[in-house]
Amino acid sequence: MKILITAGPTREYLDPIRFLSNRSSGKMGFAIAKAAAEKGHSVTLISGPVTLDTPPNVKRIDIDSAREMLAAVQQELPEQEVLIMTAAVSDFRPRIMTHHKLKKATMPAVIEFRKNPDILKTVQPEKGNRIFVGFAAETDNIFLEATRKLNEKGLDMIVANDITQSDAGFGMDTNRVTLIYPDKEPEHLPLMSKVDLGVKLIEIIEAMREEPQPIG
């Protein structure tokens, strides 16, 4: 299969030095990319700023902002069969980005923000027979929030995890997730390495691809 994966955080700049971001390390997305490439799939990895090496036989595209990630996804998606969105995309960006460093004396006390585009919702009309997989990193009402995102974005599966756990989530080498589907019961997976979880997810997606696909 041709698989497109997003990973890591995005950065939304206030000035050339300061930015809004999050704690995503990119480890989960890179683990999935590695697992997919090792199984012989053609893998394109769109990554925000991370300190990880590119897995062998993976095409990597580096971006900074949410809008750059959206543009890269739109550019690559037509040739892909699967989209896996593990990236922790910033929901908002500063309304104004200055091209010079803001000085302490002139730094605004209140910063206004604009909403960033929701990448999965934006490209949903292009889904067709493609498999779309999302991730939901939550702290509260995890099942309800993940299910809402699954339905709202028309996903085939969403991977939900509680990022308040000390052994799972951002920056960890392990993860404990629940797989939520639109048409069957959730699947609770035990704590495992992100490498092993990457292999598991690729196996599930391979099985999805083998299932009969609707026409149109």
Residue 135: CATH number of its domain? 3.40.50.10300
Q: Which residue has the higher pLDDT, 216 or 38?
A: 38
The answer to whether position 216 is within a domain reads: no
Domain count for the chain, please give it. Answer: 1
- The model's pTM: 0.92
The answer to whether position 203 is within a domain reads: yes
The answer to whether position 128 is within a domain reads: yes
Among the listed residues 22, 116, 151, 161, the single catalytic one is: 22
The answer to whether position 188 is within a domain reads: yes
The answer to whether position 215 is within a domain reads: no
Burial class (CB in 10 A: 0-12, 13-18, 19+), 184: exposed
Find tokens 């979880």 and name the residue.
197
Both tokens of 26, joined, read 């990119």
Rounded to 5 degrees, φ, ψ at 12 are: -120, 110
Is the per-residue pLDDT at 110 higher than 70?
yes
Question: What was the pLDDT predicted at 213?
Answer: 53
What amino acid occupies position 42?
A: S
Tell me how crowded residue 99 is: count the other CB atoms within 10 A of its CB.
7
Active site residue 161: no
Separation CA 6–CA 189 (nearest Å): 22
The answer to whether position 122 is within a domain reads: yes
Separation CA 37–CA 3 (nearest Å): 9
Range of the domain at 126: 2-210
The answer to whether position 100 is within a domain reads: yes
Query: For the segment 119-174, what is each residue's pLDDT rounded down to a tens digit?
Result: 999 999 999 999 999 999 877 888 889 999 999 999 999 999 877 787 777 778 89
The answer to whether position 121 is within a domain reads: yes
DSSP class of 114: E
First to last CA, the chain: 19
Query: For the segment 168-177, what is each residue's pLDDT rounded down to a tens digit?
Result: 777 788 999 9
Separation CA 37–CA 14 (nearest Å): 37
- C-alpha distances (whole Å) from 172 to each of 87, 164, 181 are 15, 12, 25
Question: What was the pLDDT predicted at 212?
Answer: 57
Burial class (CB in 10 A: 0-12, 13-18, 19+), 92: middle
Average pLDDT over every residue of 167-194 = 89
